[in-house]
Amino acid sequence: KSETPKTKRILLKLSGEALMGDNAFGISRDTLKSIVGEIKEVVDLSVQLAIVVGGGNIFRGVALGSTGMDRATGDYMGMLATCMNAMALQDALRNAGVEARVQCALDIDQVAEPYIRGKALSHLKKGRVVIFAAGTGNPFFTTDTAAALRSAEIGADMVLKATQVDGVFTADPKKDPNAKMYKSLTFDEAIQKKLKILDATAFTLCRDQGMPIRVFNLHKPGALKRVVLGEDEGTLVHV
């Protein structure tokens, strides 16, 4: 079987929850280790990989709305949460022998490089994984939007959205046993069917840029590699 990747440069969106494993909060070392194993397989195929990591396993800005906290303050806290995840991911990648750099959209120079597009591209060309932390750097946005934005900036072939299920379904597969998975659908079909793939801002940005999105299950062994090799895996959303 050919091991030639069908993509040269991809942007992987990892939610904070993906790092949580069976825990209710924070980062699971075991989960992190298995994710890193999946990532290493595609880096070994010389695919250039950038990652946008979320923060929902630690903190979400909207969560404090009910307590009266200012939304923007909550969102900055959420962005800091993504930085912690990015550092953990970088550390785990390095332990596995994968070179990685965190670039942060908020300035925390002692901890991570600032986001500089040209530098990110240079890291990617050298085969380093680039982890984008702190989302877009702006409150009222999400890391999904950061994924859409950075994917366009670095000229990625597609956005890979890692989820807890295998792809996009006709209904919630955890609740409806008759739910069917789509193999592919267009942006317009997704809107028409009111399917939630990325948040609305992120989804619109990808559609406007003609940036394909592949939704897949990162916890399924080998899935990321199969996506990269262009094999049938998850759901493809395209123009």
**Using CB under 6 A, which of 12, 35, 79, 87 touches ligand UDP?**
79
Q: What is the closest distance, in whole angstroms, from the C-beta atom of residue 1 to ligand UDP in the complex?
A: 33
Which of 16, 21, 167, 212 binds ligand UDP (CB under 6 A)? It is: 16
Q: How far is the CB of 141 from ligand UDP (least distance, A)?
A: 3
Question: With CB under 6 A, what is the number of residues at the site for ligand UDP?
Answer: 25
7 contributes a contact to ligand UDP by CB under 6 A: no
78 binds ligand UDP (CB under 6 A): yes
Residue 103 in the binding site for ligand UDP (CB under 6 A): no
Residue closer to ligand UDP (CB basis): 48 or 163: 163
| Nearest residue to 236 (alpha-carbon basis) of 173, 157, 168 | 168
Q: Which stretch binds ligand UDP (CB under 6 A): 114-122, 141-149, 178-186, 211-219?
A: 141-149
Q: Give the residue, chosen from 10, 12, 50, 60, that forms a contact with ligand UDP under the rule CB under 6 A.
A: 60
Give contact residues for ligand UDP (rule: CB under 6 A).
15-17, 54-56, 60-62, 74-75, 78-79, 81-82, 135-136, 138-139, 141-146
